[in-house]
Every structure is written in structure tokens, then in C-alpha cells.
Amino acid sequence: DVVGLYLAPPQNALVLAVDEKSQMQAIDRSAPILPIMPTTPSRMTHDYVRHGTTSLFAAFDIGSGSVIAQHYRRHRH
């Protein structure tokens, strides 16, 4: 039972919540973000440059609260 692992994990158990986010667009702004001024918030353009897609695999360590992540640039189908 997965919920039981979260509520009452066995001694020395490592409980991770894992997810994959594939086909994320790797985009970049076409111009740098303009810095904050005393009377103006930071500003950025709405257009962007595409750099293909990427995959992000991440796990959340329930006990420590840390995130373990790995990013893969290359896709093989």
C-alpha cells in the first residue's frame, strides 16, 4: 500500500515520489530581462527562441524534503 509507506514507513525505508515530464520545450527569451528600477518592475519580452525538447526526471525524498533531478537533452524513441 503506497499510502502506508508515507504514513508509517518501515525502519530505514527510502520513500520517493517520482515523476517524468517529457517533451518539455527548451525555450529561451529572445532578449534579456530588463532589471528592476526604483519605480518599475522587471520586464521581459513575450517572444522566445526554441531549442528543441528535453526530458526532466525528478524524485522527491519524502523524509528529507530534498529533490533529486536529472535532465536529459537527447531523445531516442
pLDDT class of 69 with cuts at 50, 70, 90: confident
Is residue 73, in this structure, part of any structural domain at all?
yes
Is residue 37, in this structure, part of any structural domain at all?
no
Number of domains the chain contains = 1
Q: What are phi and psi of 60, to 5 degrees?
A: -110, 115
The per-residue pLDDT for 6 is: 75
Closest CA to 56 of 75, 37, 30: 75
Q: What is the pTM of this model?
A: 0.38
The per-residue pLDDT for 75 is: 56
Domain extent at residue 19: 15-28+48-77
Instruction: Return the number of other C-beta atoms located less than 10 Å from residue 25's C-beta.
Output: 10
51 vs 69 pLDDT, higher one: 69
**Beta-carbon contacts of residue 62 (< 8 Å; ≥ 6 apart):** 6, 9, 15, 16, 17
Q: pLDDT tens, 23-67?
A: 666 667 777 777 777 887 777 777 767 666 667 777 877 778 888
